[in-house]
Amino acid sequence: MSQKLETAVVTGAGSGIGRGIAQALSAMGLRVALVGRDPKKLEATQALLANGDRAILAPCDVADRAGVKRMVETVVSAFSSIDVLISNAGTNVRHRGLDVLSPEDWDRMIATNLTGSFNLLHEVLPGMRERKNGLVIQVCSISGVRASTLGGAGYSASKFGQSALGLCLGREERERGIRSTVIYPGEVNTPILDARPVPVGQERRAAILQPEDVAAAVKFLVELHPRARVPELVITPTVDDFF
């Protein structure tokens, strides 16, 4: 089994946690494929990378199954393989209570947060199986451990599903040398907070997790020897008692 991880796909790389993870992996020397829906945001992320010249832009909506297939083909053509998959793309909506949650918003959250994660696995896993090596990290949410009205019913349901997907992956693929970790971040200061029904103040934003905190956890997982796997990892703000 190879111990060296050299290439990575990071979804949701245009901002927030995904941008922080891409920066950390690039600084480690990995070649990074930046995936997201907005090419301009991906370009902004690439400009921040320590080795941005070795990164590629791969615009894609993870909810688009055919688009994900094309994206993976593009990355494999450029990198030869995908050693690390960071399934980070996610979304939430402003109207979250079951009394106001629309079917359209429900479908959008499930399509991005859950089905999008499956779409990525479906395309990336065959190559990892062939090489008997790979690391898949689901950047989930604390809402995937404990349902909450803060995250909302739809978001929590999608994140519980993403968690189950990652845990099943770890159990099914470990004997093929593929490791899977589900990370459950608490509140993180990212653009997703802008969708909150009640605005989050600057003092609160400064006190909660920052994208680089989650990126540090990812760096730890990437640096682990392949004989060690971490099925689940919870990271929360010190100031919170939710978990």
Q: Residues 14-40: pLDDT tens digits?
A: 999 999 999 999 999 999 999 999 999
Cα–Cα nearest to 115, from 90, 150, 143, 133: 90
Separation CA 156–CA 16 (nearest Å): 20
CB 137 within 8 A of CB 82: no
- Can you give the pLDDT at residue 243? 67
Separation CA 125–CA 169 (nearest Å): 10
Q: Residues 207-224: pLDDT tens digits?
A: 999 999 999 999 999 999
The CA angle 172-11-119, to the nearest 5 degrees, is: 45
Q: Residues 122-176: pLDDT tens digits?
A: 999 999 999 999 999 999 999 999 998 999 999 999 999 999 999 999 999 999 9
Q: Please give the CATH number for the structural domain made up of 7-235.
A: 3.40.50.720
Tally Cβ neighbours within 10 Å of residue 9: 29
% of the chain residues with pLDDT over 90: 91
SS3 state at 33: strand
What are the CA-CA distances from residue 24 to residues 30, 92, 93 (Å)?
9, 25, 28
Q: Residues 57-95: pLDDT tens digits?
A: 999 999 999 999 999 999 999 999 999 999 999 999 999
Place of tokens 């099943």: 168
Q: Is the pTM of this model over 0.85?
A: yes
Q: What is the DSSP letter of 97?
A: S
Where in the chain are the domains?
Answer: 7-235
- Residue 3 binned pLDDT confidence (cut-offs 50, 70, 90): low
- Positions annotated as catalytic residues are 155
Note the Cα 22 to chain centre separation in Å. 11
Reply yes or no on whether the pLDDT at 1 is more than 80: no
